[in-house]
Amino acid sequence: MVLRRLPRSRHRWALARAAGLLALCAAMTAPLPASARAHAATPFQDHGRLQVCGTALCGEDGRPVQLRGMSSHGTQWFEHCLTGASLDVLARDWGADVLRVSTYVQEDGYETDPARFTDLASRVIDQATERGMYVIVDWHMLDPGDPRVNKELAARFFTEITERHGHQDNVLYEIANEPNGVSWQAIRSYAEDIIPVVRAGDPDAVVLVGTRAWSSLGVSEGADESEIAADPVDAENVMYTFHFYAASHREEYLRTLSRAAAELPLFVTEFGTQDYSGDGPDDFAMTQRYLDVMAEKNISWTNWNYSDDFRSGAVFRPGTCSEGRWADSGALKDAGVWIRDRIA
User: Nearest 10 degrees: CA dihedral of 280, 286, 288, 291?
Assistant: -100
- Per the structure, the count of domains in the chain is 1
Q: Is residue 19 part of a domain?
A: no
pLDDT at 9 over 60: no
Active site residue 227: no
Q: Answer whether residue 284 is part of any domain.
A: yes
pLDDT digits (tens, 9 = 90+) for 25-46: 333 223 323 333 234 589 999 9
Helix axes 151-165, 114-130, angle to 10 degrees: 40
In a domain, 120, yes or no: yes
Examine residue 337 and state whether it is found in any structural domain, yes or no: yes
| CATH label of the domain that carries residue 271 | 3.20.20.80
Question: CA distances (Å), 246 to each of 271, 299, 336, in order?
Answer: 8, 16, 15
Q: Give the active site residue among 79, 174, 178, 225.
A: 178
Annotated active-site residue 152? The verdict is no
Buried b (16+ CB within 10 A) or exposed e, 52-73: beebbbbbeeebbbbbbbbbbb
Decide if 21 is inside a domain: no
Domain membership of residue 52 (yes or no) is: yes
Calculate the CA 288 to chain-centre distance. 18
What distance in Å separates the CA atoms of residue 344 and residue 336, rounded to the nearest whole number? 12
Indicate the average pLDDT of the chain: 90
| Residue 127: domain span | 27-343
Annotated catalytic residue within 79, 174, 225, 270: 270
Task: Decide if pLDDT at 116 tops 90.
Answer: yes
Whether the Cβ atoms of residue 124 and residue 307 lie closer than 8 Å to each other: no
Q: Is residue 98 part of a domain?
A: yes
Rg of the chain in Å (alpha carbons): 19
Query: Quick one: pLDDT at residue 38?
Result: 38
In a domain, 130, yes or no: yes
Burial of 341 (C-beta count, 10 Å sphere; 0-12/13-18/19+): exposed
Q: What is the pTM of this model?
A: 0.88
Determine the pLDDT at residue 329. Answer: 81
